[in-house]
Structure 1
Amino acid sequence: MSQDLAINGGPKTISKTFNWPIYDEQEVNAVAAIVQSGKWGNPDCGDEVEKFEKEFAAYCGSKYAITCVNGSVSLRLALIACGVKPGDEVIVPPYTFITTASSVIECNCVPVFVDIDPDTYNISPAAIEAAITDRTKVIIPVHFGGLSCDMDAIMEIANRHGLKVIEDAAHGHGAEYKGKKLGSIGHVGSFSFQSSKNLTSGEGGIVITDDDELYAMMHSLRNVGRIEGGQWYDHYNPGCNYRITQMQAVLLSAQLKRLEEQTKKRNENGLYLNELLTNVKGITPLSRSEYITLHCYHIYIFKYDAEHFGGLPKNEFAEMLAAEGVPSFRGYPHPLYKQPLFQNKNWMCYAIPETADYSQTFCPVAEQACATDAVWILQHAMLGEKEDMEGFVRAILKIQEAVS
């Protein structure tokens, strides 16, 4: 194997550092002002949280937004507000982060894994339809990597069966489906503000909705079961303190001012990288349908074919690519249903029936994506310049030439 490869001590193709998060004195001064005020908490110490909630709702084109401590809790709030009962089934994809499914377990409900589309790695509407039973109550489509699911098809299925749709838009800040911001199409949209996300305050989450009843319930659950207009020590619902702080809120307000420009930059770079990679044998970018009016590329995903790289396994290719200076990763090692939580039935919930058994669950597209095909380039790299995208391709070609 060539000594020119960076993994073998050769020079990196990319020497640039892609920093994240991006901030300046605006964020520093905003946080400092909160610290100096001594009013750090929420909701009794200021209105910065409510201010950000209104800003984010307006940005998404939604009526309401409710912040919470993280994107896992945001899914849990949405599920409870949507009226799930113990033993109900919730349809989820297997190619996503654990909390899309573990939040279902936390609600004493049963995750039903259905496969993803081979061209987009998003949940397959046909697989959703086939999985619906009389116990199904909610569908959670994940806009994986910031690429929108086929929301028209999903909403049509949900409406026909009387199901609620919770959009997991943890990767989807700023992205659009037919001109609508992701998260604003289903009954509830759920976002994360964890440190890697396109909009971040280190940790945090938010839910958005146009539904008055869903809003009232999620708002109450987030605030220890209190209701708007009620007394401080009156608790109507089984909620907890899931509130964020004033410091997180001002960080998010400042970061939100950058989001649209950053999203357009990622989208532009993604389109250019797609164009460049069409000429590389063995590399296939995920497809973008015409309904994707804006892609935020939280993850840029391409499919890798080892046959065109001398049989080099995907994991080794991904290590080589990262060594060349491309902020990249092999992706998930296996689908969610293979996690010990599901294989060992470690859910510790009274309502999950004994018949819930994931030992024989098999989603072939997700399995192949994890094992051999999917390689990720991370979102902060997509804020680079055109010459950086060209550098990513040079790194891939360098590896291909060395191993073929």
Structure 2
Amino acid sequence: MEKTTTLAFDGGKKAVQTTFPWPLFDETDVQAVAEIVRSGRWGNPDCGDSVEAFEQAFAAYCGTKYAVTCVNGSVSLRLALMACGVRPGDEVIVPPYTFIATASTVLEVNCVPVFVDIDPDTYNLDPKAIEAAITERTRAIIPVHFAGLACDMDAIMDIARRNNLKVIEDAAHAHGAEYKGRKLGSIGDVGSFSFQSSKNLTSGEGGIVVTNDESLYRMMASLRNVGRMEGHQWYDHFNPGCNYRITQMQAVLLSQQLKRLEEQTILRNTNGLYLNELLTKIDGITPLSRGSEENRHCYHLYIFKYDPSAFGGLSRQDFVARLAAEGVPCSTGYPHPLYKQPLFQNKNFMCYAIPESVDYSAVSCPVAERACRDEAVWIFQHAMLGSREDMQAFAEAIRKIQRVVIQPGPTVG
């Protein structure tokens, strides 16, 4: 592989020549959606069984008995929280290094998000910090399988069972990933997934919850369907739900995409393992740990830690700008932990049950803050569907930047 000395950022040739389109589809996807359009039966639940067919297929894929689709992954978390019986003023433990919905949905059900720091090696919830955060008001834990990496579910489930807490797995990044041979989302009381456009399984928007608990399933199905209950009249409403149903078109598209998910997940996992081998050899680059008990990573994000001291003091922002210019789809990720968002700092909760004493101004999760401020670099999931040669090119792009920024400057005389 050519080792050029001019960065693409400065007009040189890119180290990575491949482009990585997303979403991936073919004519079978187009035809499946077209058939629904031509049928004129677009709605749900009175216009066909495509939604139910996808729910059954996804539940089977995850190894659960039940699944309930809904409009997005934020609503899926809200359905799970409501079905798990949280009450106004209850506390729910969440990580600070995740998308806002993990915490904002807790506010939407009039509960208090309690931020617990992440493990420095995995960026997932630190079980030791969970235990220390439990109070008499704690009712649930939402572990986020961040980037598609399994949380330490044995430790989390042990803590939850000893403290009579519900566990809602936020698996929005984790389609197809596994922990000790079990699909993520199938281990806690409920698993929540997103089908938003960047996700490893997508229909543009959409979400789903999976569970083995029949009572939770029936409640989530009711809440998703305007509070209706199976076996009753259309205009009988038993619970305070809304219309959160997806369409037949989304369902058939998801069914088509699901056929590819296993193969794509295996490829992402294989590429991630290989990229780990390559990047651990580069001074200043530390891939995140895969976790001691994690079986399969689906790499919705490939994350490594960046140390500027090994790159001539080049800031992380400038490093990522140069890496992107070399053709690697990448980002620095979240600018700060969730509790530093204006929503929490200004207490713009619009909830009647959040105690006045709740104050996020003094919350400190040092590991999450360091990840946001200094360390984390993300490579996006569609790039992880590239070839082995592409992974080599990613590594060469990093080495190329390092060579240029630490080479001696010209002698002045």
Taking the aligned partners of 1:344 and 1:79, their CA distance within structure 2 comes to 24
2:74 to 72, 96, 113: 72
Q: Which stretches of structure 1, 4 residues or longer, exceed 3 Å deviation after superposition?
A: none
1:259-297, CA deviations, whole angstroms, 9 ceiling, x for partnerless residues? 000000000000000011111000000112342111100
Instruction: State the SS of the aligned residue for 2:167.
Output: strand
- What amino acid is aligned across from residue 372 of structure 1 in structure 2? D
Instruction: State the SS of the aligned residue for 2:208.
Output: strand
Instruction: State the SS of the aligned residue for 2:333.
Output: coil
2:273 matched to which residue of 1? Answer: 271
Q: Does 1:261 align with 2:263?
A: yes
Q: Which runs of 5+ in 2 are unaligned?
A: 407-413
Task: After TM superposition, give the deviation of residue 20 of structure 1 in Å.
Answer: 0.6
2:225 to 223, 232, 244: 223
Contact 1:188–1:208 at 8 Å: present in 2 too?
Answer: yes
2:179 matched to which residue of 1? Answer: 177
Contact 1:3–1:9 at 8 Å: present in 2 too?
Answer: no
Q: How does 1:54-133 map to 2 (within 5 A)?
A: 54-133=56-135
How many residue pairs were aligned? 403
Contact 2:122–2:291 at 8 Å: present in 1 too?
Answer: no
Taking the aligned partners of 1:285 and 1:367, their CA distance within structure 2 comes to 18
- What amino acid is aligned across from residue 170 of structure 2 in structure 1? D
Instruction: State the SS of the aligned residue for 1:78.
Output: helix
Q: How does 1:18-37 map to 2 (within 5 A)?
A: 18-37=20-39
- What amino acid is aligned across from residue 78 of structure 1 in structure 2? A
**Structure 1 stretch displaced more, 309-318 or 385-394:** 309-318
Q: How does 1:165-244 map to 2 (within 5 A)?
A: 165-244=167-246
- What amino acid is aligned across from residue 310 of structure 1 in structure 2? G
1:49-106, CA deviations, whole angstroms, 9 ceiling, x for partnerless residues? 0000000000000000000000000000000000000000000000000000000000
- What amino acid is aligned across from residue 291 of structure 1 in structure 2? E
Q: How does 1:115-154 map to 2 (within 5 A)?
A: 115-154=117-156
Taking the aligned partners of 1:168 and 1:82, their CA distance within structure 2 comes to 14
- What amino acid is aligned across from residue 131 of structure 1 in structure 2? A
1:318 matched to which residue of 2? Answer: 320
| Aligned Cα root-mean-square deviation (Å) | 0.9
2:410 matched to which residue of 1? Answer: none
Task: After TM superposition, give the deviation of residue 3 of structure 1 in Å.
Answer: 7.8
Q: Does 1:295 align with 2:297?
A: yes
1:394 matched to which residue of 2? Answer: 396
Contact 2:150–2:291 at 8 Å: present in 1 too?
Answer: no
Taking the aligned partners of 1:174 and 1:252, their CA distance within structure 2 comes to 14
Task: After TM superposition, give the deviation of residue 10 of structure 1 in Å.
Answer: 1.8
- What amino acid is aligned across from residue 166 of structure 1 in structure 2? I
Instruction: State the SS of the aligned residue for 1:167.
Output: strand
TM-score (norm: length of structure 1) = 0.99
Taking the aligned partners of 2:225 and 2:5, their CA distance within structure 1 comes to 58
Q: Which runs of 5+ in 1 are unaligned?
A: none
Contact 1:94–1:113 at 8 Å: present in 2 too?
Answer: yes
Taking the aligned partners of 1:276 and 1:111, their CA distance within structure 2 comes to 39
Task: After TM superposition, give the deviation of residue 9 of structure 1 in Å.
Answer: 2.0
Task: After TM superposition, give the deviation of residue 14 of structure 1 in Å.
Answer: 1.0
Identity level (%): 74
Contact 1:282–1:307 at 8 Å: present in 2 too?
Answer: yes
TM-score (norm: length of structure 2) = 0.97
